[in-house]
Amino acid sequence: MSNDTPNGDPGRPERPAYGEYAPPGSQPRVNAPLSTPAESTGSAAESLGGVGAFVGGSYPQVVATFTKYEDAQRAVDHLSDEGFPVENVSIIGHDIRTVENVSGRLTNGRAAARGLVSGIWFGVAIGILLGFFVPGVNFLGVVIAGVVFGAIWGALFGFLGHAATRGQRDFSSVKTMEAGRYEVLVRSEFATKAVQLLADGVYK
């Protein structure tokens, strides 16, 4: 029975697909000397093509894990400041979830007020467009008319839209998408250099 893997190399673990990464135990050790940032940015990246930790024939390795995206972003920014070829880096978010932060109570009156403000901005935009591109009209008059009609219709739609919910959503909120943790992955041939740079910075 043949032990050949889909990679065509007997005994070699299957290469992770795009969007996946190999567990740390299955990743090969990086014993070969690393290229300098200048060399990597030039010949290596251009010959393999593409960007990120999943291109080429290497196994991506986790060099840092964070609970906030901003921290992962700062880590990659630190690598970039140190001249590291960041086109070989990927940030992967795990345990994606939506977070809805409630901003306050919402009544028919508040919904109408929010619609009024939105309508005013829409009316201003329409008035300016008509004033610029329709010849022979009073620019200021068109803008004022747009504000008035926009405010009226915005307030009306805001009121009716909230009233249609029949009290099932009497609050306003802001939805965001977050991850439970963020991993900074680097192509295996650059992993040791990335770990050294992060350890020398503020990521000890």
pLDDT tens digits, residue range 98-132?
Answer: 989 998 888 889 999 999 999 999 999 999 998 88
Q: Give this prediction's pTM.
A: 0.52
Using DSSP, state whether 61 is helix, strand or coil.
strand
Answer yes or no: are the C-beta atoms of 68 and 147 closer than 8 Å: no
**How would you classify residue 8: left for phi > 0, otherwise alpha for psi between -120 and 50, otherwise beta?**
left
Residues in CB range of 162: below 8 A, 6 or more apart: 106, 107, 108, 111, 112, 169
CA distance 154 to 150: 6
How confident is the model over 165-200, as pLDDT tens digits? 888 888 888 888 889 999 999 998 889 999 999 987
Residue spans of the domains in the chain: they are: 50-101+180-204, 107-169
CATH homologous superfamily for the domain 50-101+180-204 = HD domain like (3.30.70.1370)
CA distance 87 to 196: 18
